[in-house]
Amino acid sequence: MKKFIISAVAVAMACFAFVSCSKKAKSNETAAASVKVAMVTDSGDINDQSFNQTTYAASKAFCEENNLAFNYYKPAGDSTADRIASINAAIQDDYNVVVLPGFLFAEAIVETAELNSDVKFIGLDVSEFDIMSAAEAKGKKDWKIPQNVFCAVYEEQISGYMAGYAAVKEGFRHLGFLGGMAVPAVIKFGFGYVQGINAAAEEMGIAKDVTVEYVYGGQFYGDPQIKASMDGWYKNRGVEVVFACGGGIWNSAADAAKDIGAKVIGVDVDQTAQINKYADGMCVTSATKGLGATVKAVLGAILSDNWSTYAGKVESLGLVSATEIEKNYVQLPTETWTMKNFTVENYKSLVADIYNKKLSISSDIANVPAHTVTLNIYPNIK
C-alpha cells in the first residue's frame, strides 16, 4: 500500500511538473508570438559601422534566437518628422517594441510614446537631458517619461578615462581630443579622457611633459575644414594621437593622420577595422558603449514579462563587474588589442581599480577637470 501511495504521489508530481513545464513553454511561445521588434535608424544606415549597425545586429540576433518577428526602418531624411514617420510606419505594421539608437530620437519619443501606450520604446544613448529638453521645446514643462519608455545612457567618462590612461601608458605624450558637438555624452568622453591622461601622467611623474589639445568640431561629420584643423595638429603641433568622438567626425582625423603615420582612438563601438582602412595600425583602441548588451538585456526583460524593471526610467550604465570585463557597458575592446606597453592585464587591473572605487572619475560636464598636464582648449571649429 505504501509503495502504491508513493508511486501515486510520484506520478502526480511528474504530471504536475509536466503541466508546469508545458504551461511555461506555452507561455514563452505566446510571449514570442506577441512580441514584434522594430528598429529605426537615426541619420545613418545599418552598415554605418557605428550605432545603427551595432543596434541592428544585436536586435536581429536576439530576435532570431528567440523566434521573434523583426524588421528595421530607415527614415527618408535626417529630421524628426522623418524619424516619427518611420516609427509610425513600424507601429502601423503591428510592431510593438521599437528600438531607437541615438539622442536624435528624443523629440520623436516625446511626440509618439504617449500616443502609443501599447508600444514599448527603447531609446539608446537618449539622456534625461535630451528627453526633457525636447519636451520643454514642445511646451511640456512638467512632462514625465511614460511607462512604455526606457532610455539608456552610458558612463562615457569611464571609457574615455580608460582610453586616455592607456594612451599615456602606451607612450603617447602629445594627445588630442576632437569632439563632434558639445552635448553631454561627448563632453563626458572628452573630460574622462583628460582625467585618464592626467592620472597616468601623474603616476609616471611626467605631467610636465604631456600636452592635450582639445576642440569640438561643431558637427557630427567630417569635412575639409575639420581635416585642415587636424592637419595642423598632426603636422605643425606634433600631436601623436587624436580621440575622435562624435558620429563620422573621425573620418577627418583619420584622413589627416594617414598623411604622416599618426594615430586615432575610436569611439562608441570597436572602430579598429574602419580606422585601419586609412592606414594599417592607425587605431590605438576605442572607447566603447555596450549597445548590444543593452538591447539583449531589455528585450530579454520584455520577453520574460519583466518590463517593469525598465518602465519609465533613464538608466546610466557603466561597470557591472571588476573581473568579467566583457559584461561591462563601457570598456576598451580586447579582441583587437594592439598596445604593447599597456597590456590587457594592465587594462584588467585598471577596470578593477575603477570598479572598486580606488580611482575616482568625475562625471561633471560643467567644469573642466583638474589637471597638471598642459591642456589647450580651443573654440569650436565650426
User: What is the structure's pLDDT at 30?
Assistant: 52
pLDDT at 19 over 70: no
pLDDT at 220 over 80: yes
* 32, amino acid identity: A
Torsion of CA 180, 181, 187, 188, to 10 degrees: -70
Mean pLDDT, range 90-96, rounded to an integer: 98
The strand pair at 283-289 and 330-331 is best described as antiparallel
CA gap 343, 346 in Å, rounded: 5
Backbone angles phi, psi at 285, to 5 degrees: -170, -175
CA gap 44, 147 in Å, rounded: 28
Share of the chain above pLDDT 70, in %: 91
pLDDT band at residue 247 using 50, 70 and 90 as cut-offs: confident
- Helix (H/G/I), strand (E/B), else coil: 36: strand
Mean pLDDT, range 321-330, rounded to an integer: 94
Mean pLDDT, range 128-143, rounded to an integer: 92
User: What is the structure's pLDDT at 184?
Assistant: 87
* 334, amino acid identity: T
Backbone angles phi, psi at 212, to 5 degrees: -125, 125
pLDDT at 110 over 50: yes
Angstrom CA distances, 78 to 23, 107, 269, 306, stand at: 46, 13, 22, 34
pLDDT band at residue 22 using 50, 70 and 90 as cut-offs: very low
* 376, amino acid identity: N
- The whole-model pTM stands at 0.85
pLDDT at 17 over 50: no
pLDDT at 162 over 90: yes
Looking up cell 575622435 gives 244
**Which of 123, 128, 165, 120 is closest to 144 using CA atoms?**
128
**Which of 78, 84, 93, 76 is closest to 38 using CA atoms?**
93
Share of the chain above pLDDT 90, in %: 83
User: What is the structure's pLDDT at 51?
Assistant: 83
User: What is the structure's pLDDT at 50?
Assistant: 79
pLDDT band at residue 300 using 50, 70 and 90 as cut-offs: very high
Contact 250, 244 (CB under 8 A): yes
CA gap 116, 100 in Å, rounded: 15
pLDDT band at residue 16 using 50, 70 and 90 as cut-offs: very low
pLDDT band at residue 82 using 50, 70 and 90 as cut-offs: very high
pLDDT at 204 over 70: yes
Angstrom CA distances, 130 to 107, 184, 254, 362, stand at: 8, 9, 29, 21
Q: Where are the beta strands (DSSP E) in the chain?
A: 36-40, 69-73, 97-101, 120-124, 149-154, 174-179, 211-216, 241-245, 263-268, 283-289, 313-317, 330-331, 374-377
More confident residue, 230 or 269: 230
CA gap 214, 204 in Å, rounded: 22
User: What is the structure's pLDDT at 49?
Assistant: 72
Angstrom CA distances, 187 to 102, 111, 124, 183, 253, stand at: 16, 27, 17, 6, 18
Considering the chain, what is the average pLDDT of its residues? 91
pLDDT at 359 over 70: yes
Backbone angles phi, psi at 264, to 5 degrees: -135, 145
pLDDT at 271 over 60: yes
Mean pLDDT, range 139-147, rounded to an integer: 92
Mean pLDDT, range 288-316, rounded to an integer: 95
CA gap 273, 225 in Å, rounded: 25
User: What is the structure's pLDDT at 32?
Assistant: 60
